[in-house]
C-alpha cells in the first residue's frame, strides 16, 4: 500500500514534525525541460496568418493554391466525395484493420511501383504495405522499424532535407547518427551530385540507411536525372545501404505518375537484391492535406513468405502501439478515385492543372525578375522542379523580404511556389530585387 493511505483508500492523517513545516517550493523534473524551437514551417505560417498587411504573400508551407490564392478541392476528389455521400455505407465510420484498408493499400502499392494486371504475382509477394498517417507517419513507422531491427549506424540525409526528417529520426532513435550527403551546390544553385556520390562512397557503411526523395526534392526542387539515379542505385547495392524512399509528390511534380516514381520503379526492377522502404503521401497529389492519407511499403529483395509475414506483423505491432490504425475518411476518397477509371482520368487532369500552374508560377517570377534586371542569375527558378524553389537569398535577405515586403519564405530561402500568382508575382519579384540590392 502507498504510504499515507489507509486501507479504505482515504488519506491517512499524518502528524509527523515534517508535516508541520511550511511547504517547500518543490523541485520538479519539468524544471530541466527547456522549450525546443517550434517547427519552422508551421511557425512561419502562423506569423503569416497574423500579419494584417493587405499585400502579404505566403510562400511558406507546401500546399497548392489556385491562381486566386485559394485552396483547391480537386474536381476528382469533389466527385468522389459526392459518390461516398450518396453511398452512405453503414460501415463508413467503422475501424479499419490495424494495417489499414486492404484495397487502398493495393492501389497505393500499384501506383508507386507501377504494378498492373500483367505484373507477376512473384513481384507482388515482394511487398508488404501498411496505411499510415500520411507521409510523416510513413517516415516515422519506417524509421522506428529500422531502428528496432536493422539498427543502422547512420541514416544518411541530403544536405539540406525536409526539416521534419530530423525530428522523425530524432524521435525514432537516439542511437542512429544523422549524417548528411552533399546535395545542393550554393555557387551553381544546382545538384552537387559528385559531392553526394563521393561522400557516400567514402563514408557510408554496410547496413546504413539512406533517405532518398523520389521526386520534387524538398526543399531544393532539384532531382537527380535518370542516369544519376542509376549511379545512386549501384552505390546502394555496392555499399549495401538500405534505401528509404520518401515520395510526397507523385504526379504533382511532372504531372506524370510514372515519371515521378521512375527512381523507385528502377530500384525495384533493376536492383532486386535490395530491400527498401517507400513512404507515400497523398496530401499533395490528391489535395487531402488534413486527411492524413499515406502508406508505407516494405520491398523485400525476394519473395519470402516468412520474412513477409514477420515484417507485416512487426509494422502492425508498431502501428497498434502508437495510433492503433490510420483514419478511414481520406483513404476512402483515394480508393474511390483509383477504383473508377473515369475518376482516375479526372484525377490525372487535376494533376496536370496543379503541375502546370506551378510551372507557370515559376515562369511568372522569373520573368518579373528579368524585367527588373535583378542582379544575379535566376534560371534556377524555372529549372527546379515541384512545389518548392530554393530561391538563393541569404537569411538576412529572407528576413528583409518578410519585414519590409510581407513575403514569407523559410530562412533557407525555400519558397512554396504555388503561393505565387499573376497578382502578386511582381510584388514578390520587387521584394527579392530590393533585398538583393539593399542587403549584402
Ligand atoms: C512542407 O514541407 O511545407 C510540407 O511538406 C508541409 C509539412 O508537413 O512540412
Q: By the 8 A CB rule, do 114 and 212 touch?
A: no
User: Does residue 41 have its Cβ closer than 6 Å to ligand 1?
Assistant: yes
User: Does residue 137 have its Cβ closer than 6 Å to ligand 1?
Assistant: no
Using the atom order of ligand 1, give the atom closest to the CA of residue 39: 9
pLDDT on residue 187: 92
pLDDT in tens, 221-248: 999 999 999 999 999 999 999 999 999 9
Q: What is the DSSP string of 209-278?
A: EEEEE-SS-TTT-----HHHHHHHHHHHHHHT-EEEEEES-TTTSSS-HHHHTHHHHHHHHH-TT--EEE
pLDDT on residue 26: 74
Distance of CA 181 from the midpoint of ligand 1 (Å): 21
Low-confidence stretches of the chain (pLDDT beneath 50): 1-17
User: Does residue 162 have its Cβ closer than 6 Å to ligand 1?
Assistant: yes
pLDDT on residue 14: 44
pLDDT in tens, 76-98: 999 999 999 999 999 999 999 99
> By alpha-carbon position, which residue is closest to atom 2 of ligand 1?
62
pLDDT on residue 188: 92
User: Which of the following is catalytic: 72, 156, 162, 347?
Assistant: 162
User: Would you call 85 exposed, middle or buried from its count of C-beta atoms within 10 A (0-12, 13-18, 19+)?
Assistant: exposed
pTM listed for this prediction: 0.92
Q: 10 Å Cβ neighbour count for 213?
A: 26
pLDDT on residue 144: 98
Best residue among 45, 62, 252, 253 to mutate for probing ligand 1, ranked by most atoms within 8 Å of CB: 62
pLDDT on residue 5: 39
162 among known catalytic residues: yes
User: Does residue 62 have its Cβ closer than 6 Å to ligand 1?
Assistant: yes
Q: Give helix 329-338 / helix 341-372 axis angle, nearest 10°.
A: 100
User: What letter would DSSP give residue 148?
Assistant: I
User: Which of the following is catalytic: 56, 284, 335, 402?
Assistant: 284
Distance of CA 289 from the midpoint of ligand 1 (Å): 10
Q: Cα 162–157–163 angle (5° rounding)?
A: 20
Amino acid at each position: 500500500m502507498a504510504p499515507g493511505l489507509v486501507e479504505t483508500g482515504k488519506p491517512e492523517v499524518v502528524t509527523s514534525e515534517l508535516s508541520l513545516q511550511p511547504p517547500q517550493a518543490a523541485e520538479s523534473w519539468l524544471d530541466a525541460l527547456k522549450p525546443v524551437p517550434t517547427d519552422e514551417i508551421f511557425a512561419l505560417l502562423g506569423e503569416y496568418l497574423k500579419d494584417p498587411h493587405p499585400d502579404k504573400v505566403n510562400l511558406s508551407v507546401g500546399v497548392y493554391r489556385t491562381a486566386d490564392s485559394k485552396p483547391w478541392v480537386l474536381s476528382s476528389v469533389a466527385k468522389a466525395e459526392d459518390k461516398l455521400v450518396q453511398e452512405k455505407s453503414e460501415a463508413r465510420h467503422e475501424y479499419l484493420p490495424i494495417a489499414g484498408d486492404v484495397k487502398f493499400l493495393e492501389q497505393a502499392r500499384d501506383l508507386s511501383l507501377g504494378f498492373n494486371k500483367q505484373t507477376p504475382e512473384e513481384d507482388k509477394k515482394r511487398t508488404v504495405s501498411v496505411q499510415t498517417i500520411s507521409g510523416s507517419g510513413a517516415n516515422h513507422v519506417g524509421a522506428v522499424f529500422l531502428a528496432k531491427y536493422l539498427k543502422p549506424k547512420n541514416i544518411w540525409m541530403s544536405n539540406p532535407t525536409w526539416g521534419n526528417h530530423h525530428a522523425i529520426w530524432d524521435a525514432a532513435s537516439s542511437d542512429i547518427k544523422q549524417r548528411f550527403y552533399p546535395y545542393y551546390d550554393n555557387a551553381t544553385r544546382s545538384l552537387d551530385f559528385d559531392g553526394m556520390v563521393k561522400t557516400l562512397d567514402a563514408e557510408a557503411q554496410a547496413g546504413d540507411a539512406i533517405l532518398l526523395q523520389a521526386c520534387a526534392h524538398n526543399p531544393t526542387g532539384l532531382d537527380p536525372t535518370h542516369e544519376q539515379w542509376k549511379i545512386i542505385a549501384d552505390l546502394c547495392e555496392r555499399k549495401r545501404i538500405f534505401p528509404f524512399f520518401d515520395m510526397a509528390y507523385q504526379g504533382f511534380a511532372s504531372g506524370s505518375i510514372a515519371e515521378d516514381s521512375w527512381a523507385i520503379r528502377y530500384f525495384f526492377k533493376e536492383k532486386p537484391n535490395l530491400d527498401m522502404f517507400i513512404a507515400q503521401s497523398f496530401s499533395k497529389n490528391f489535395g487531402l492535406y488534413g486527411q492524413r492519407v499515406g502508406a508505407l511499403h516494405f520491398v523485400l529483395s525476394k519473395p519470402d513468405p516468412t520474412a513477409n509475414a514477420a515484417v507485416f506483423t512487426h509494422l502492425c505491432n508498431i502501428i497498434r502501439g502508437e495510433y492503433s490504425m490510420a483514419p478511414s475518411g481520406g483513404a476512402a476518397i483515394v480508393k474511390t478515385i483509383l477504383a473508377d477509371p473515369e475518376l482516375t482520368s479526372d484525377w490525372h487532369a487535376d494533376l496536370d492543372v496543379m503541375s502546370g500552374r506551378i510551372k507557370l508560377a515559376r515562369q511568372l517570377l522569373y520573368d518579373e525578375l528579368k524585367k527588373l534586371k535583378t542582379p544575379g542569375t535566376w534560371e534556377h527558378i524555372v529549372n527546379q522542379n515541384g512545389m518548392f524553389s530554393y530561391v538563393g537569398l541569404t537569411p538576412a535577405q529572407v528576413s528583409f523580404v518578410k519585414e519590409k515586403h510581407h513575403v514569407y519564405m523559410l530562412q533557407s530561402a525555400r519558397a512554396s511556389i504555388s503561393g505565387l500568382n499573376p497578382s502578386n508575382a511582381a510584388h514578390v519579384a520587387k521584394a527579392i530585387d530590393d533585398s538583393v540590392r539593399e542587403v549584402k
